A = this chain, B = another copy of it.
């Protein structure tokens, strides 16, 4: 476990879902979509309630505040990133193979949770400091795990990469990109994009050639 987590801000409620916690999930999904379209501050509780066919005050039977509703939206993305995607870097396969698997899963997850991903990407600043810290902790863990994977791949001679830390940022820049422009009705499916982006990442890190013994470059020292 990397970053010492400060407090427990997990929004999952402790009480049983009785007949179904489905209503709450519906409201979170609806909020994700509206926050994505108009921004967190651009959507009022009354607009949310209207879209859900209820009154603004009734939302407070499901969420303590508007910000808690935002946290529910963001949490799905960041929790999955750490508990589902990150373990994909473990395993007996080659470093390139494991990294490609992560890239594909990451982009596929974006395709399946577009609303939440966009909100998670641009509405973080609306969170209270404690909750912001918790979410950013997840992201740090994710980023560090990838950086470690690259460094290990370089040490194993499987990757050619002059600056693994910057390469980590570049990879994240790349695989978070479809978040901004992916269109389900577009030319390519999310799986095709995932495959091709994974190829690009692997190609970027591939050692120059399987020719003579001139091994891959070593890492920079930190500046």
Contact = CB atoms under 8 A, between A and B. Distances in A.
A197 B170 contact: yes
B177 A169 contact: yes
Interface string A111-131: 000000000001101100000
A200 B209 contact: no
Contacts of A41: 39-42
Contacts of A200: 167, 170, 204
B125 A39 contact: yes
Nearest to A223: B187
Contacts of A223: 187-188
Please tell me how many copies of the chain the complex holds.
2
Nearest to A187: B223
A125 B40 CA distance: 12
Nearest to A186: B223
Q: Interface residues of A: mostly helix, strand, loop or mixed?
A: helix
A173 B166 contact: no
A139 to B, nearest CB: 10
A29 interface: no
A48 interface: no
Contacts of A188: 166, 223
Given A41-B41, A187-B222, 20 more contacts: A37-B125, A38-B125, A39-B39, A39-B123, A40-B42, A162-B196, A165-B187, A166-B188, A169-B177, A169-B178, A169-B181, A170-B174, A170-B197, A170-B200, A173-B176, A174-B174, A174-B177, A177-B177, A187-B223, A188-B223
